[in-house]
């Protein structure tokens, strides 16, 4: 099984050894509970870099007070096997105490983009994401970092952070990986009951209804969002928002207690 670095010092030494051999480094930041979508990130990174490292860290800063930090799935042995098979050379799995030293009080916020859409419903979420990703970039010092397009707003925020703060890392977008029935792969899909899992593909179907509306002459963001709402009428999904932004149609919905997000290109 591939090695695990547990400290900032250990991961720095690992990457320094690769650098001494003039090897390029790809990086895949994750919160663990990995699936085939993460494996695709690793495979893409392995094709484009000499070595790939995957971080596994459930970041408390990006969870709100009533969110699922405590029950978020943690499965490091399975995660190591999955990313190793996909081509990763190592895993970086720091503790919360290692990531946030006692007295930590510095945060990163990408203004404007962090307060709309998902940020409107999850105050402070993207500040937590930007903060931990910047720390991980500083600890790993990769050439390229890979993020899935399912979290479209997150990727856009991190791209702006990298640009605005003159980071040398290149951020690579990787297309959404879906189940055969259209459901976007997500670690939180494990929360779904069997009945909820059967209902979940309705979210992607609603996105496709919105995309169909977008192709109509004289369609507007409001009519596209209305098409999504109509498609979900009578389903088990409770739409939180549908928004046209940055060339995409973004949605978030609850299925029972599980919050699902997805998006498609327009």
CB-count burial class (<10 Å; 0-12, 13-18, 19+) for 19:
middle
Q: Spell 231-256 as b/e; 16+ CB within 10 A means b.
A: bbeebebebbbbbbbeebbbbbbebe
Active-site positions read 38
Q: CA 42 to CA 26: how far, in whole Å? A: 9
| Sheet of strand 51-56, all strands in order from the earlier edge strand to the far edge | 4-5, 90-92, 51-56, 25-30, 144-148, 170-174
């Amino acid at each position: 099984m591939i090695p695990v670095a547990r400290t900032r010092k250990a991961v720095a030494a690992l990457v320094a050894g690769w650098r001494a051999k003039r090897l390029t480094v790809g990086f895949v930041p994750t919160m663990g509970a990995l699936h085939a979508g993460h494996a695709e990130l690793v495979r893409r990174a392995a094709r484009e870099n000499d070595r790939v490292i995957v971080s596994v860290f459930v970041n408390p800063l990006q969870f709100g007070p009533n969110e699922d930090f405590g029950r978020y799935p943690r499965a490091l042995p399975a995660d190591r096997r999955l990313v190793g098979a996909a081509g990763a050379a190592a895993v970086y799995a720091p503790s919360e105490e290692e990531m946030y030293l006692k007295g930590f009080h510095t945060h990163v916020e990408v203004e404007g983009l962090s307060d709309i859409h998902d940020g409107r419903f999850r105050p402070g979420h993207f500040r937590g994401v930007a903060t931990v990703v910047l720390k991980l970039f500083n600890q790993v010092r990769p050439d390229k970092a890979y993020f899935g397009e399912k979290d479209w707003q997150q990727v856009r925020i991190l791209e702006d952070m990298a640009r605005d703060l003159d980071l040398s890392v290149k951020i690579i977008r990787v297309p959404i990986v879906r189940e055969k029935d259209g459901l976007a792969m997500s670690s939180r899909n494990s929360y779904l009951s069997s009945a909820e899992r059967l209902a979940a593909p309705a979210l992607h179907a609603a996105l496709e209804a919105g995309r169909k509306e977008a192709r109509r002459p004289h369609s507007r963001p409001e009519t596209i969002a209305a098409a999504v709402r109509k498609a979900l009428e009578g389903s088990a999904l409770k739409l939180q928002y549908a928004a046209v932004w940055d060339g995409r149609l973004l949605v978030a919905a609850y299925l029972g207690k599980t919050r699902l997000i997805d998006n498609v290109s327009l």
